[in-house]
Amino acid sequence: MSRPRDQFEITTDILLRAYSIGLFPMAESATDENLFWVDPEARGIFPLDGLIVSKSLAKTVRSDRFEVKVDCDFDAVIDACAASYEDREKTWINGRIRKLYRQLFDIGRVHTVESWAGGELAGGLYGVHLGAAFFGESMFHRKTDASKVALVHLAARLAKGGFRLLDTQFVTPHLASLGAVEVSKKVYRRRLADAMSHHGDFWSWPKDKRVFGREALAALPRSKG
């Protein structure tokens, strides 16, 4: 992992350029305003044809227990992703990260996928869209399976829109249980270059269309479980 500290102001243009060549920024903590570039030797990705959807998760998705919305409340999503929980006391989302990704959201380069229940945000995720690649940044849940449902809807949207890469940065046991795999830096950069040479349509389902669970599951190239 490369950790050169930033010596100049990072702009949205610089940030997008970094993503296009395989780098992404992080901070040591929410209170540290410094950023460093990360370039892992092993990269986590979700093969779009390999998302693991268990029978119980498919049942939850199909039930539409959660209403899935896109780009509805970025600030609430990143606030929740940055919050500390019993099983996650430390976060890397600092003030500079919030500002940069809000600017990217405003120009349509960052998207959220949100699970709502009873008029409240129950879980979700956000990430960067560039070419035919989606770079997942963070996810959270307040209700069981809310973030998993958001991930299924994201993968379905990306598959339908012709995306070629879903980046998850690192692989955790939780992400591995959903189908995330590690690839070498060399393999990742080859896949990234391919994704950068294509266009992914994030709005293959329009923003104002409610996508039901059965539609999302049907759009997945293949599911396991």
Domains of the chain (ranges; CATH) run: 41-91+109-219 (3.40.630.70)
**Nearest alpha carbon to residue 60 among 120, 143, 142:** 143
The residues with which 26 forms a beta bridge, in sequence order, are 36
Q: Yes or no: say if 54 and 47 are a contact pair by the CB < 8 Å rule.
A: no
* Orientation angle between helical segments 95-106 and 12-20, nearest 10 degrees: 90
Q: pTM for the whole thing?
A: 0.92
pLDDT at 158: 98
> What would the two tokens of residue 28 be?
């040591």
Tens of pLDDT, residue by residue over 54-100, are 999 999 999 999 999 999 999 999 999 998 665 555 677 999 999 99
Residue type, 221: P
CB 134 within 8 A of CB 158: yes
101-115 exposure pattern, b = at least 16 Cβ within 10 A, e = fewer: beebbeeebbbbbbb
